[in-house]
Structure 1
Protein backbone atom coordinates (compact mmCIF):
# COMPACT_ATOMS: atom_id res chain seq x y z
CA UNK A 1 0.00 0.00 0.00
CA UNK A 2 1.41 3.38 -1.00
CA UNK A 3 1.06 5.96 1.80
CA UNK A 4 -0.61 9.21 0.72
CA UNK A 5 2.21 11.16 2.36
CA UNK A 6 4.61 9.85 -0.28
CA UNK A 7 2.65 11.75 -2.90
CA UNK A 8 2.57 15.06 -1.03
CA UNK A 9 5.21 17.67 -0.55
CA UNK A 10 8.04 16.13 -2.57
CA UNK A 11 9.76 18.14 -5.28
CA UNK A 12 11.68 17.44 -8.43
CA UNK A 13 10.14 14.22 -9.72
CA UNK A 14 10.15 13.65 -13.46
CA UNK A 15 6.63 12.84 -14.57
CA UNK A 16 7.04 12.75 -18.34
CA UNK A 17 4.36 12.66 -21.04
CA UNK A 18 3.33 9.04 -21.68
CA UNK A 19 1.25 9.87 -24.77
CA UNK A 20 1.36 7.44 -27.68
CA UNK A 21 3.89 9.62 -29.52
CA UNK A 22 6.23 9.89 -26.50
CA UNK A 23 9.41 7.80 -26.64
CA UNK A 24 9.14 4.28 -25.27
CA UNK A 25 10.85 3.60 -21.97
CA UNK A 26 14.29 1.99 -22.36
CA UNK A 27 14.65 -1.57 -21.06
CA UNK A 28 17.66 -2.03 -18.73
CA UNK A 29 19.11 -5.03 -16.90
CA UNK A 30 17.46 -4.34 -13.52
CA UNK A 31 15.64 -1.77 -11.40
CA UNK A 32 17.90 0.52 -9.35
CA UNK A 33 16.35 2.96 -6.90
CA UNK A 34 19.83 4.22 -5.96
CA UNK A 35 20.76 5.59 -9.40
CA UNK A 36 21.60 9.29 -9.35
CA UNK A 37 18.66 10.11 -11.64
CA UNK A 38 16.08 8.43 -9.37
CA UNK A 39 17.55 10.05 -6.26
CA UNK A 40 17.48 13.47 -7.96
CA UNK A 41 13.88 12.90 -9.14
CA UNK A 42 12.90 12.21 -5.52
CA UNK A 43 14.77 15.27 -4.22
CA UNK A 44 17.12 13.13 -2.10
CA UNK A 45 20.29 14.45 -3.78
CA UNK A 46 20.93 17.47 -5.97
CA UNK A 47 20.55 16.88 -9.70
CA UNK A 48 23.89 15.56 -10.99
CA UNK A 49 25.19 14.76 -7.47
CA UNK A 50 26.06 11.28 -6.33
CA UNK A 51 24.78 9.71 -3.11
CA UNK A 52 27.14 9.52 -0.17
CA UNK A 53 27.03 5.73 0.02
CA UNK A 54 30.29 5.23 -1.87
CA UNK A 55 28.72 2.55 -4.06
CA UNK A 56 28.51 3.42 -7.77
CA UNK A 57 25.20 2.80 -9.50
CA UNK A 58 24.55 2.77 -13.25
CA UNK A 59 22.66 5.66 -14.79
CA UNK A 60 18.91 5.17 -15.02
CA UNK A 61 17.21 5.81 -18.35
CA UNK A 62 14.71 8.62 -18.79
CA UNK A 63 11.08 7.78 -18.10
CA UNK A 64 8.91 6.90 -21.08
CA UNK A 65 5.75 5.17 -22.21
CA UNK A 66 5.36 1.47 -21.45
CA UNK A 67 6.34 -0.47 -24.61
CA UNK A 68 3.59 -2.72 -26.00
CA UNK A 69 5.90 -5.76 -25.89
CA UNK A 70 7.08 -5.24 -22.28
CA UNK A 71 5.25 -7.63 -19.90
CA UNK A 72 5.85 -6.65 -16.26
CA UNK A 73 5.36 -9.10 -13.41
CA UNK A 74 6.18 -6.69 -10.56
CA UNK A 75 6.75 -3.04 -9.82
CA UNK A 76 9.42 -1.42 -7.66
CA UNK A 77 8.38 1.83 -5.98
CA UNK A 78 11.26 4.11 -4.94
CA UNK A 79 10.30 6.73 -2.35
CA UNK A 80 11.92 8.84 0.37
CA UNK A 81 12.16 6.67 3.46
CA UNK A 82 12.93 8.86 6.47
CA UNK A 83 16.26 8.28 8.19
CA UNK A 84 18.57 5.40 9.09
CA UNK A 85 21.15 5.29 11.87
CA UNK A 86 24.45 3.39 11.92
CA UNK A 87 27.97 3.79 13.32
CA UNK A 88 28.64 6.60 10.80
CA UNK A 89 25.66 8.64 11.98
CA UNK A 90 22.22 9.53 10.64
CA UNK A 91 21.41 9.10 6.95
CA UNK A 92 18.58 10.29 4.73
CA UNK A 93 17.04 7.03 3.50
CA UNK A 94 15.23 5.69 0.47
CA UNK A 95 12.64 2.92 0.63
CA UNK A 96 12.32 0.45 -2.25
CA UNK A 97 9.08 -1.55 -2.17
CA UNK A 98 8.34 -4.49 -4.47
CA UNK A 99 4.67 -4.91 -5.39
CA UNK A 100 3.02 -7.82 -7.19
CA UNK A 101 -0.45 -8.82 -8.33
CA UNK A 102 -2.61 -7.93 -11.32
CA UNK A 103 -0.50 -5.29 -13.07
CA UNK A 104 -2.93 -4.79 -15.98
CA UNK A 105 -4.76 -1.84 -14.33
CA UNK A 106 -1.41 -0.22 -13.47
CA UNK A 107 -0.06 -0.60 -17.01
CA UNK A 108 -3.33 0.75 -18.43
CA UNK A 109 -3.15 3.77 -16.09
CA UNK A 110 0.51 4.40 -17.00
CA UNK A 111 -0.34 4.30 -20.72
CA UNK A 112 -2.87 7.13 -20.34
CA UNK A 113 -1.69 10.44 -21.80
CA UNK A 114 -1.00 13.41 -19.58
CA UNK A 115 -3.43 16.30 -19.84
CA UNK A 116 -2.15 19.48 -21.51
CA UNK A 117 -0.79 21.96 -18.94
CA UNK A 118 -2.92 24.97 -18.09
CA UNK A 119 -5.82 26.27 -16.02
CA UNK A 120 -5.97 27.33 -12.40
CA UNK A 121 -3.84 25.21 -10.10
CA UNK A 122 -3.12 25.20 -6.38
CA UNK A 123 0.38 26.06 -5.25
CA UNK A 124 0.83 22.78 -3.35
CA UNK A 125 3.52 20.63 -4.93
CA UNK A 126 2.38 17.06 -5.50
CA UNK A 127 4.79 14.62 -7.06
CA UNK A 128 4.91 10.89 -7.50
CA UNK A 129 7.41 8.29 -6.32
CA UNK A 130 9.70 6.82 -8.94
CA UNK A 131 8.54 3.55 -10.48
CA UNK A 132 10.23 0.63 -12.20
CA UNK A 133 8.24 -2.07 -13.98
CA UNK A 134 10.10 -5.40 -13.89
CA UNK A 135 9.58 -8.36 -16.24
CA UNK A 136 10.04 -12.11 -15.54
CA UNK A 137 13.73 -11.91 -16.55
CA UNK A 138 14.43 -9.07 -14.08
CA UNK A 139 14.72 -6.45 -16.82
CA UNK A 140 13.15 -3.10 -15.96
CA UNK A 141 11.79 0.13 -17.39
CA UNK A 142 11.06 3.52 -15.82
CA UNK A 143 7.51 4.36 -16.89
CA UNK A 144 6.36 7.97 -17.05
CA UNK A 145 3.56 8.78 -14.61
CA UNK A 146 0.75 10.68 -16.42
CA UNK A 147 -0.36 13.99 -14.92
CA UNK A 148 -3.39 16.28 -14.96
CA UNK A 149 -3.40 19.85 -16.32
CA UNK A 150 -1.65 21.13 -13.18
CA UNK A 151 1.10 18.49 -13.28
CA UNK A 152 -0.44 16.48 -10.43
CA UNK A 153 0.15 12.70 -10.73
CA UNK A 154 -2.85 10.84 -12.17
CA UNK A 155 -4.70 9.22 -9.22
CA UNK A 156 -5.54 6.18 -11.39
CA UNK A 157 -1.89 5.11 -11.07
CA UNK A 158 -2.02 5.49 -7.28
CA UNK A 159 -5.24 3.45 -7.10
CA UNK A 160 -3.67 0.70 -9.24
CA UNK A 161 -0.57 0.65 -7.02
CA UNK A 162 -2.73 0.49 -3.87
CA UNK A 163 -4.46 -2.64 -5.25
CA UNK A 164 -1.13 -4.52 -5.44
CA UNK A 165 0.45 -6.56 -2.64
CA UNK A 166 3.77 -5.53 -1.15
CA UNK A 167 6.10 -8.55 -1.28
CA UNK A 168 9.30 -6.88 -0.09
CA UNK A 169 10.70 -3.65 1.29
CA UNK A 170 14.24 -2.41 1.83
CA UNK A 171 15.70 0.85 3.10
CA UNK A 172 18.95 2.27 1.78
CA UNK A 173 21.16 5.04 3.18
CA UNK A 174 21.47 7.89 0.67
CA UNK A 175 23.19 10.86 2.26
CA UNK A 176 24.89 11.26 5.66
CA UNK A 177 23.24 14.23 7.39
CA UNK A 178 24.50 13.92 10.99
CA UNK A 179 27.92 12.24 11.34
CA UNK A 180 28.75 10.45 14.56
CA UNK A 181 31.23 12.52 16.58
CA UNK A 182 34.75 11.12 16.38
CA UNK A 183 36.15 9.79 19.65
CA UNK A 184 39.50 11.43 20.45
CA UNK A 185 42.47 9.04 20.66
CA UNK A 186 43.65 8.80 24.12
Structure 2
Protein backbone atom coordinates (compact mmCIF):
# COMPACT_ATOMS: atom_id res chain seq x y z
CA UNK A 1 0.00 0.00 0.00
CA UNK A 2 2.92 2.50 0.68
CA UNK A 3 4.56 2.12 -2.80
CA UNK A 4 1.35 2.67 -4.75
CA UNK A 5 0.45 5.89 -2.98
CA UNK A 6 3.96 7.24 -3.34
CA UNK A 7 3.90 6.30 -7.01
CA UNK A 8 0.67 8.20 -7.60
CA UNK A 9 1.89 11.31 -5.82
CA UNK A 10 5.64 11.49 -6.11
CA UNK A 11 7.14 9.38 -8.87
CA UNK A 12 6.42 7.65 -12.14
CA UNK A 13 5.67 3.95 -12.21
CA UNK A 14 8.43 1.63 -13.42
CA UNK A 15 8.16 0.87 -17.14
CA UNK A 16 6.91 -2.51 -18.15
CA UNK A 17 7.23 -4.36 -21.44
CA UNK A 18 5.13 -2.82 -24.18
CA UNK A 19 2.10 -4.75 -25.28
CA UNK A 20 0.23 -4.12 -28.50
CA UNK A 21 -3.57 -4.22 -28.50
CA UNK A 22 -4.91 -7.57 -29.64
CA UNK A 23 -6.44 -6.07 -32.78
CA UNK A 24 -3.32 -4.07 -33.66
CA UNK A 25 -4.95 -0.67 -33.27
CA UNK A 26 -3.42 2.24 -31.42
CA UNK A 27 -4.17 2.86 -27.75
CA UNK A 28 -7.57 4.50 -27.09
CA UNK A 29 -7.54 8.24 -26.65
CA UNK A 30 -9.79 10.71 -24.88
CA UNK A 31 -10.01 14.38 -25.78
CA UNK A 32 -9.73 17.07 -23.15
CA UNK A 33 -12.91 18.76 -21.99
CA UNK A 34 -13.83 21.91 -23.80
CA UNK A 35 -14.40 25.24 -22.11
CA UNK A 36 -12.37 26.93 -19.41
CA UNK A 37 -11.05 25.67 -16.07
CA UNK A 38 -13.38 26.52 -13.20
CA UNK A 39 -12.02 29.42 -11.13
CA UNK A 40 -12.37 28.84 -7.41
CA UNK A 41 -12.28 31.35 -4.59
CA UNK A 42 -9.45 31.80 -2.10
CA UNK A 43 -7.17 28.79 -1.70
CA UNK A 44 -7.06 27.18 1.74
CA UNK A 45 -4.70 24.19 1.64
CA UNK A 46 -4.00 20.88 -0.07
CA UNK A 47 -5.71 19.08 2.79
CA UNK A 48 -8.92 21.09 2.33
CA UNK A 49 -9.08 21.83 -1.39
CA UNK A 50 -6.98 19.38 -3.40
CA UNK A 51 -8.59 16.07 -2.37
CA UNK A 52 -12.07 17.42 -3.22
CA UNK A 53 -13.35 16.73 -6.73
CA UNK A 54 -14.60 20.18 -7.64
CA UNK A 55 -14.04 20.26 -11.40
CA UNK A 56 -15.33 16.80 -12.29
CA UNK A 57 -17.38 14.00 -10.74
CA UNK A 58 -15.68 12.17 -7.89
CA UNK A 59 -14.03 8.90 -8.88
CA UNK A 60 -15.33 5.78 -7.16
CA UNK A 61 -12.14 5.52 -5.10
CA UNK A 62 -12.26 9.15 -3.94
CA UNK A 63 -9.34 10.42 -6.03
CA UNK A 64 -9.19 14.03 -7.28
CA UNK A 65 -10.76 14.70 -10.68
CA UNK A 66 -8.93 13.35 -13.73
CA UNK A 67 -6.63 16.19 -14.78
CA UNK A 68 -6.19 14.55 -18.18
CA UNK A 69 -9.84 15.23 -19.03
CA UNK A 70 -10.23 18.75 -17.57
CA UNK A 71 -10.34 22.01 -19.60
CA UNK A 72 -6.90 23.35 -20.46
CA UNK A 73 -5.21 26.50 -19.22
CA UNK A 74 -6.13 29.52 -21.35
CA UNK A 75 -4.92 33.10 -21.44
CA UNK A 76 -7.65 34.64 -19.29
CA UNK A 77 -6.24 33.34 -15.98
CA UNK A 78 -3.01 35.08 -14.93
CA UNK A 79 -0.91 32.59 -13.01
CA UNK A 80 1.15 33.92 -10.10
CA UNK A 81 2.09 30.61 -8.45
CA UNK A 82 1.78 26.87 -8.74
CA UNK A 83 0.94 24.48 -5.93
CA UNK A 84 1.89 20.81 -5.99
CA UNK A 85 0.21 18.53 -3.46
CA UNK A 86 2.25 15.38 -2.85
CA UNK A 87 1.21 12.33 -0.89
CA UNK A 88 4.28 10.39 0.20
CA UNK A 89 5.62 8.31 3.10
CA UNK A 90 7.98 10.03 5.51
CA UNK A 91 10.10 8.36 8.18
CA UNK A 92 9.84 9.58 11.76
CA UNK A 93 12.57 9.79 14.38
CA UNK A 94 11.29 6.53 15.93
CA UNK A 95 11.82 4.84 12.50
CA UNK A 96 8.10 4.51 11.90
CA UNK A 97 6.54 6.07 8.80
CA UNK A 98 3.57 8.31 8.16
CA UNK A 99 1.74 9.04 4.95
CA UNK A 100 2.10 12.81 4.66
CA UNK A 101 0.32 15.30 2.42
CA UNK A 102 2.85 18.01 1.59
CA UNK A 103 1.92 21.35 0.05
CA UNK A 104 4.70 22.92 -2.02
CA UNK A 105 4.49 26.31 -3.73
CA UNK A 106 6.55 27.79 -6.59
CA UNK A 107 6.45 31.23 -8.19
CA UNK A 108 8.83 30.62 -11.11
CA UNK A 109 6.30 28.95 -13.41
CA UNK A 110 7.38 30.03 -16.90
CA UNK A 111 8.49 26.57 -18.04
CA UNK A 112 5.47 24.93 -16.41
CA UNK A 113 2.98 27.21 -18.18
CA UNK A 114 4.67 26.58 -21.52
CA UNK A 115 4.32 22.82 -20.98
CA UNK A 116 0.68 23.10 -19.90
CA UNK A 117 -0.19 24.97 -23.11
CA UNK A 118 1.21 22.28 -25.39
CA UNK A 119 -1.36 20.41 -27.52
CA UNK A 120 -2.04 16.70 -27.15
CA UNK A 121 0.41 14.50 -28.99
CA UNK A 122 -1.68 12.75 -31.65
CA UNK A 123 1.12 10.61 -33.09
CA UNK A 124 -0.13 7.13 -33.95
CA UNK A 125 1.40 4.38 -31.83
CA UNK A 126 1.21 0.61 -32.14
CA UNK A 127 1.66 -0.16 -28.45
CA UNK A 128 1.64 1.46 -25.02
CA UNK A 129 3.31 0.30 -21.83
CA UNK A 130 1.04 -0.77 -19.01
CA UNK A 131 2.36 1.11 -15.99
CA UNK A 132 0.09 3.49 -14.09
CA UNK A 133 0.89 7.03 -15.26
CA UNK A 134 2.03 9.70 -12.85
CA UNK A 135 -0.53 12.51 -12.82
CA UNK A 136 0.66 15.44 -10.68
CA UNK A 137 -1.81 16.97 -8.24
CA UNK A 138 -1.26 20.45 -9.64
CA UNK A 139 -3.10 23.70 -8.89
CA UNK A 140 -2.51 27.23 -10.20
CA UNK A 141 -3.11 30.47 -8.27
CA UNK A 142 -3.50 34.06 -9.42
CA UNK A 143 -2.35 37.14 -7.50
CA UNK A 144 -5.70 37.40 -5.69
CA UNK A 145 -5.50 33.84 -4.36
CA UNK A 146 -8.07 32.37 -6.72
CA UNK A 147 -7.16 28.97 -8.10
CA UNK A 148 -7.82 26.44 -10.85
CA UNK A 149 -6.99 22.83 -11.53
CA UNK A 150 -5.72 22.80 -15.11
CA UNK A 151 -6.14 20.00 -17.60
CA UNK A 152 -2.89 18.37 -18.69
CA UNK A 153 -1.86 17.75 -22.31
CA UNK A 154 -1.38 14.05 -23.05
CA UNK A 155 0.90 11.89 -25.15
CA UNK A 156 -0.21 9.20 -27.60
CA UNK A 157 -0.95 6.76 -24.75
CA UNK A 158 -3.09 9.27 -22.84
CA UNK A 159 -0.50 9.98 -20.20
CA UNK A 160 0.73 13.47 -19.29
CA UNK A 161 3.18 14.68 -21.90
CA UNK A 162 6.77 14.22 -20.67
CA UNK A 163 7.31 17.99 -20.90
CA UNK A 164 4.64 18.45 -18.22
CA UNK A 165 6.14 15.85 -15.89
CA UNK A 166 9.61 17.36 -16.35
CA UNK A 167 8.34 20.88 -15.69
CA UNK A 168 6.54 19.83 -12.48
CA UNK A 169 9.61 18.02 -11.17
CA UNK A 170 11.77 21.05 -12.00
CA UNK A 171 9.64 23.42 -9.89
CA UNK A 172 11.55 25.02 -7.02
CA UNK A 173 8.96 24.28 -4.39
CA UNK A 174 8.82 25.91 -0.99
CA UNK A 175 7.12 23.70 1.57
CA UNK A 176 4.04 25.47 2.93
CA UNK A 177 2.52 22.77 5.12
CA UNK A 178 2.53 19.07 5.94
CA UNK A 179 -0.40 17.03 7.20
CA UNK A 180 -0.14 13.46 8.46
CA UNK A 181 -2.88 11.47 6.74
CA UNK A 182 -2.27 8.19 8.55
CA UNK A 183 0.43 6.00 9.96
CA UNK A 184 2.00 3.62 7.45
CA UNK A 185 4.53 1.83 9.67
CA UNK A 186 4.36 1.92 13.46
CA UNK A 187 7.45 2.30 15.61
CA UNK A 188 6.88 -1.20 16.95
CA UNK A 189 6.75 -2.77 13.50
CA UNK A 190 9.86 -0.90 12.43
CA UNK A 191 11.80 -1.96 15.54
CA UNK A 192 10.79 -5.61 15.23
CA UNK A 193 11.41 -5.89 11.49
CA UNK A 194 7.80 -6.95 10.87
CA UNK A 195 5.51 -5.62 8.17
CA UNK A 196 2.80 -3.27 9.35
CA UNK A 197 0.12 -5.29 7.54
CA UNK A 198 0.03 -8.94 6.55
CA UNK A 199 -2.49 -11.17 4.85
CA UNK A 200 -4.13 -13.90 6.93
CA UNK A 201 -2.98 -16.68 4.63
CA UNK A 202 -4.58 -19.42 6.74
CA UNK A 203 -8.03 -17.92 6.17
CA UNK A 204 -7.35 -17.42 2.47
CA UNK A 205 -5.93 -20.86 1.74
CA UNK A 206 -8.47 -22.85 3.75
CA UNK A 207 -11.25 -21.54 1.53
CA UNK A 208 -9.95 -24.02 -1.03
CA UNK A 209 -11.59 -27.40 -0.30
CA UNK A 210 -8.67 -29.18 -1.98
CA UNK A 211 -6.42 -28.20 0.96
CA UNK A 212 -7.22 -31.07 3.30
CA UNK A 213 -6.06 -31.30 6.91
CA UNK A 214 -2.59 -32.80 6.69
CA UNK A 215 -0.21 -33.21 9.64
CA UNK A 216 3.52 -33.04 9.16
CA UNK A 217 6.81 -31.96 10.66
CA UNK A 218 7.52 -28.22 10.44
CA UNK A 219 11.12 -27.12 10.91
CA UNK A 220 12.29 -23.58 11.62
CA UNK A 221 15.39 -21.67 10.47
CA UNK A 222 18.16 -20.85 12.94
CA UNK A 223 16.91 -17.28 13.47
CA UNK A 224 13.16 -16.70 13.57
CA UNK A 225 11.17 -13.49 13.67
CA UNK A 226 7.75 -13.70 15.28
CA UNK A 227 5.18 -11.22 13.95
CA UNK A 228 1.65 -11.15 15.36
CA UNK A 229 -1.30 -9.41 13.70
CA UNK A 230 -4.82 -8.46 14.71
CA UNK A 231 -7.54 -8.87 12.11
CA UNK A 232 -10.10 -6.02 12.21
CA UNK A 233 -13.71 -7.14 12.49
CA UNK A 234 -14.54 -5.74 9.06
CA UNK A 235 -11.79 -7.89 7.52
CA UNK A 236 -12.80 -11.15 9.16
CA UNK A 237 -14.63 -13.50 6.84
CA UNK A 238 -13.52 -11.71 3.66
CA UNK A 239 -11.77 -13.65 0.87
CA UNK A 240 -8.38 -12.15 1.74
CA UNK A 241 -8.41 -10.73 5.28
CA UNK A 242 -5.52 -8.48 6.30
CA UNK A 243 -4.13 -8.14 9.80
CA UNK A 244 -2.48 -5.11 11.40
CA UNK A 245 0.75 -5.36 13.40
CA UNK A 246 0.22 -6.08 17.12
CA UNK A 247 3.72 -7.09 18.30
CA UNK A 248 6.85 -8.78 17.09
CA UNK A 249 10.32 -9.85 18.16
CA UNK A 250 13.34 -11.93 17.24
CA UNK A 251 12.80 -15.18 19.11
CA UNK A 252 15.40 -16.12 21.76
CA UNK A 253 16.98 -19.47 20.89
CA UNK A 254 15.47 -21.31 23.86
CA UNK A 255 11.99 -20.17 22.88
CA UNK A 256 12.63 -20.95 19.20
CA UNK A 257 13.66 -24.51 20.07
CA UNK A 258 10.56 -24.99 22.24
CA UNK A 259 8.31 -23.84 19.40
CA UNK A 260 10.07 -26.08 16.89
CA UNK A 261 9.59 -29.08 19.16
CA UNK A 262 5.86 -28.45 19.21
CA UNK A 263 5.82 -28.05 15.42
CA UNK A 264 7.58 -31.39 15.00
CA UNK A 265 4.58 -33.36 16.27
CA UNK A 266 1.32 -32.06 14.87
CA UNK A 267 -2.11 -33.57 14.55
CA UNK A 268 -4.50 -32.88 11.66
CA UNK A 269 -6.47 -29.67 11.74
CA UNK A 270 -9.97 -29.93 13.14
CA UNK A 271 -13.01 -28.91 11.14
CA UNK A 272 -13.59 -25.24 11.93
CA UNK A 273 -14.79 -22.14 10.06
CA UNK A 274 -14.60 -19.38 12.69
CA UNK A 275 -12.51 -16.40 11.57
CA UNK A 276 -9.42 -15.69 13.65
CA UNK A 277 -9.02 -12.42 15.55
CA UNK A 278 -5.22 -12.80 15.65
CA UNK A 279 -2.60 -14.81 13.84
CA UNK A 280 1.17 -15.24 13.99
CA UNK A 281 3.73 -15.40 11.20
CA UNK A 282 7.03 -17.19 11.86
CA UNK A 283 9.62 -16.19 9.28
CA UNK A 284 13.35 -16.47 8.66
CA UNK A 285 15.00 -13.40 10.19
CA UNK A 286 17.88 -13.38 7.70
CA UNK A 287 16.37 -14.08 4.28
CA UNK A 288 13.00 -14.08 2.55
CA UNK A 289 11.61 -17.59 2.73
CA UNK A 290 8.47 -19.57 3.43
CA UNK A 291 6.37 -18.42 6.39
CA UNK A 292 4.61 -20.57 8.98
CA UNK A 293 1.18 -19.17 9.88
CA UNK A 294 -0.63 -19.96 13.12
CA UNK A 295 -4.08 -18.80 14.19
CA UNK A 296 -3.89 -17.68 17.82
CA UNK A 297 -7.57 -18.06 18.65
CA UNK A 298 -10.74 -19.86 17.58
CA UNK A 299 -9.71 -22.57 15.04
CA UNK A 300 -5.98 -22.38 15.94
CA UNK A 301 -4.81 -23.95 12.69
CA UNK A 302 -1.23 -24.07 11.43
CA UNK A 303 -0.38 -23.63 7.76
CA UNK A 304 3.10 -24.29 6.37
CA UNK A 305 4.26 -24.70 2.79
CA UNK A 306 7.53 -26.68 2.79
CA UNK A 307 9.99 -26.33 -0.06
CA UNK A 308 9.41 -30.00 -0.83
CA UNK A 309 6.13 -31.82 -0.40
CA UNK A 310 2.51 -30.72 -0.03
CA UNK A 311 1.27 -27.94 2.29
CA UNK A 312 0.84 -28.81 5.95
CA UNK A 313 -2.46 -27.92 7.58
CA UNK A 314 -2.41 -28.98 11.21
CA UNK A 315 -3.74 -28.13 14.66
CA UNK A 316 -2.01 -25.99 17.29
CA UNK A 317 -2.40 -26.81 20.96
CA UNK A 318 -2.55 -24.52 23.99
CA UNK A 319 1.14 -24.90 24.81
CA UNK A 320 2.20 -23.73 21.34
CA UNK A 321 -0.19 -20.80 21.47
CA UNK A 322 1.30 -19.72 24.82
CA UNK A 323 4.80 -19.82 23.35
CA UNK A 324 3.68 -17.32 20.68
CA UNK A 325 2.26 -14.76 23.08
CA UNK A 326 4.14 -11.57 23.85
TM-score (norm 2): 0.39
Q: Please name the residue that 2:11 is paired with.
A: 7
Task: Give the root-mean-square deviation of aligned CA atoms.
Answer: 3.9
Task: Give the direction of change, closer, same or farther, for the CA distance of 1:91–1:133 in structure 2 (3 Å limit).
Answer: same
Q: Please name the residue that 1:22 is paired with.
A: 34
Task: Give the direction of change, closer, same or farther, for the CA distance of 1:131–1:17 in structure 2 (3 Å limit).
Answer: farther
- Kindly state the Cα deviation for residue 166 of structure 1 after the two structures are TM-superposed: 1.9
Q: Please name the residue that 2:157 is paired with.
A: 150
Q: Please name the residue that 1:76 is paired with.
A: 83
The reply to whether residue 160 of structure 1 matches residue 172 of structure 2 is no
Q: Secondary structure at the match of 2:141?
A: strand
- Kindly state the Cα deviation for residue 66 of structure 1 after the two structures are TM-superposed: 1.1
Q: Please name the residue that 2:111 is paired with.
A: 105
Residues 33-48 of structure 1 mapped to structure 2, 5 A cutoff: 33-35=46-48, 38=51, 47=60
Q: State the structure with more CA Rg.
A: 2
- Kindly state the Cα deviation for residue 71 of structure 1 after the two structures are TM-superposed: 0.7
- Kindly state the Cα deviation for residue 107 of structure 1 after the two structures are TM-superposed: 1.6
Q: Secondary structure at the match of 1:107?
A: helix
- Kindly state the Cα deviation for residue 155 of structure 1 after the two structures are TM-superposed: 1.6
TM-score (norm 1): 0.63
Say if 1:119 and 1:149, in contact at 8 Å, map to a contact too: no
1:95 to 87, 92, 102: 102
Which protein has greater RCO, CA pairs closer than 8 Å, 6+ apart? 1
Deviation string 1:98-151 (CA, Å, 9 cap, x unpaired) is 1121x2332221122323586301112222221001111111100112121112
* Separation in structure 2 between the aligned mates of residue 139 and residue 61 of structure 1, nearest angstrom: 20
Give unmatched runs, 5+ long, in structure 1. 11-15, 41-45, 51-58, 182-186
How many residue pairs end up in the alignment? 156
Say if 1:33 and 1:39, in contact at 8 Å, map to a contact too: no
Task: Give the direction of change, closer, same or farther, for the CA distance of 1:80–1:119 in structure 2 (3 Å limit).
Answer: farther
Task: Give the direction of change, closer, same or farther, for the CA distance of 1:168–1:90 in structure 2 (3 Å limit).
Answer: closer
Give unmatched runs, 5+ long, in structure 2. 1-6, 15-29, 54-58, 188-244, 246-326
